Structure 1
Amino acid sequence: MKQVKTNAMRLLDEAGIEYTAHSYTHKHNDPVDGISVAEKMGQPLEQVYKTLVTQTHDNEYVVFMLPVAEELDLKKCARAAGTKSLEMIHVKDIHKITGYIRGGCSPLGMKKDYRTFIDENVILQDRIYFSGGKIGVQIEMDPEDLIRFRHIETADLIKEK
């Protein structure tokens, strides 16, 4: 069966960037959190990234990517973004802001190209996985290609345990 292309895949295709699309089975009531996705895909947690959207105190949206088992440190994120403070957007606003739904939010193909940061430890990975823009679809690619393509900045974003 031919895989349907998502906006994220179309953007990578247009730019001539190499990636591999993966799909996994998702039933209506299955969890959509990143750890569940990594387990379904059989991939190490440190290689599967989630995409989180925040809003600064002056209403700018900023996107952050980090491994699915980690938690954002909002103070570190604010520092990286050069803003006084920021907070996670409400789940109900994800579609309105990004064009995606919870569990299918990709750093590629959002309604606008928001400033995006990825945790600095991404350099330790040869390949990473992230949402392809639809629940049940993951994109695998070289993180350096993603960083160059989207002009993503690296920073220390993870909350200390």
Structure 2
Amino acid sequence: MTPAINTAKRAGIDFTVHEYTHESGAPSYGLEAAEKLDVDPSRVFKTLVVELDGKTLAVGVVPVTHQLGLKQIARAAGAKKAAMAKVDAVERATGYVLGGVSPLGQKKRLALYVDESASALESIFVSAGRRGLEIELAPQALVALGQARFAPLAV
């Protein structure tokens, strides 16, 4: 059980946990998940942490087939600029290791933005809190649980 799964359970939402064997050295955790779970990669989303205006951290969730647009997340957050957060800051704030960062159940609640493409999907896959573990849920449930909002983030 991970904090992400516990968060979904406590909220009483519908979700499914999918597990696969993570291969060390995989070039992309998200694309590996899509391949191993035999899921369209446009339904698998990665969780990325950014630093806004050099001060605060925020989370962007985008399809694994795209990159997170730094200008786009800065705009969505009302910041002037965004940069990828340092690994130690990400792990300290979220409680997760890279490749297993979930948008749910983080140690510190960070502002959460989900790419607007998710809103058209019935369900999406995001990390459940460790490499090789995904949680499938409705994108609206993710937004509600994470007190997030949809925004154009992917480039």
Q: Calculate the TM-score normalised by the size of structure 1.
A: 0.91
Structure having the higher strand fraction is 2
Match of 1:43 among 18, 39, 46: 39
Q: How does 1:5-20 map to 2 (within 5 A)?
A: 5-20=1-16
Deviation at 1:92, TM superposition (A): 4.0
Q: CA deviation at 1:146?
A: 1.2
Distance in 2 between the 1:58 and 1:50 partners?
22
Superposition misfits of 4+ residues, deviation over 6 angstroms: none
Tell me if 1:113 matches 2:71: no
| Contact 1:51-1:64 within 8 A present in 2 as well | yes
Larger Rg: 1
RMSD over aligned Cα atoms:
1.3
Tell me the CA shift for residue 18 of structure 1. 1.2
Note the residue ranges of structure 2 that are not aligned, 5 or more in a row: none
Structure 1 residue ranges without an equivalent (≥5): none
Distance apart, 1:94 and its partner CA: 2.5
Deviation of 1:68 after TM superposition, in Å, equals 0.4
TM (norm. structure 2) is 0.94
1:25 is the counterpart of 2:21: yes
Aligned length: 155
**Partners in 2 of 1:146 and 1:140 — Cα distance?**
10
1:74 aligned onto 2:73: no
Output the amino acid matched with 2:100. G
